[in-house]
Amino acid sequence: MGWQVVWNNFDYFLWGAWPEGPLGGLAMSILLSIGGIFGAFWLGLAAGLMRLSKRPWIAWPAIVYIEVVRGIPLLLVIFWFYFLSPILFGSPLPEAQSALISFIIFTSAYVAEIVRAGVLSLPKGQMEAARGSGLSQVQAMSFVILPQALRNMIPSFVNQFVSLIKDTSLAAIIGVNELLRTGEQVMNRDYVTTEIFVTIAVMYFIVCYALTEASRILERQMSRYQARR
């Protein structure tokens, strides 16, 4: 009986009520994670480079931002944006938009540390050689340091992406119809628990494992490319 309920609602687990209604389920979880990691990458890249600056008025705002965000739970960030958005923006934000902003703000602090560690992992002579060839500080960082550092950051970026996919389940607390919430809706309607939670866990595992394997394949290809060079 329980597995029959799961099978009958499998499309709902994948898409929510779409196309009849708003998109939800696993598709919403993936969209939130993709949007979150895309926004967090650029914000985290800027914050990480700011933290590496030797100018205190540039570095300290980034340090405060990174340490404060990393020191509070993601759930608190989600609540903060959801309940304070009417004060900040004059009107409440949609639940999915509040969750997405929270994911970007939270994840970018960790991305910033990945960027900082990746840049510092390179020999200091790289920057000196680039500056000696006539490049400015910005040009040396953009064309010499970052391309090398970003290759080293790929495993850490993937780990952060996998964590974000799992963290999207916290969006259910403010009513976002992602995978966990769709499972709860089916469970409350059909009174099936174990099979639904097993299905949700398997779906999360498949997505995260596929992403991890893709990262390993990319790392092997890049290693072969570097070896040929």
- Domains in the chain, ordered, with CATH? 2-227 (1.10.3720.10)
Tens digit of pLDDT for each residue in 80-112?
Answer: 888 887 777 777 788 899 999 999 999 999 999
* C-alpha span between 92 and 164 (Å, rounded): 24
Residue 113's pLDDT is what?
94
CB 119 within 8 A of CB 48: yes
Residue 1's pLDDT is what?
63
pTM given for the model:
0.90
Torsion of the alpha carbons at 139, 145, 149 and 150, rounded to the nearest 10: 20
Residue 226's pLDDT is what?
58
Residue 229's pLDDT is what?
55
Segments in the chain below pLDDT 50: none
Residue 228's pLDDT is what?
56
* C-alpha span between 114 and 189 (Å, rounded): 43
- Look up residue 43 and give its amino acid: L
According to DSSP, residue 174 is labeled: G
Max intra-chain CA distance, the chain: 72
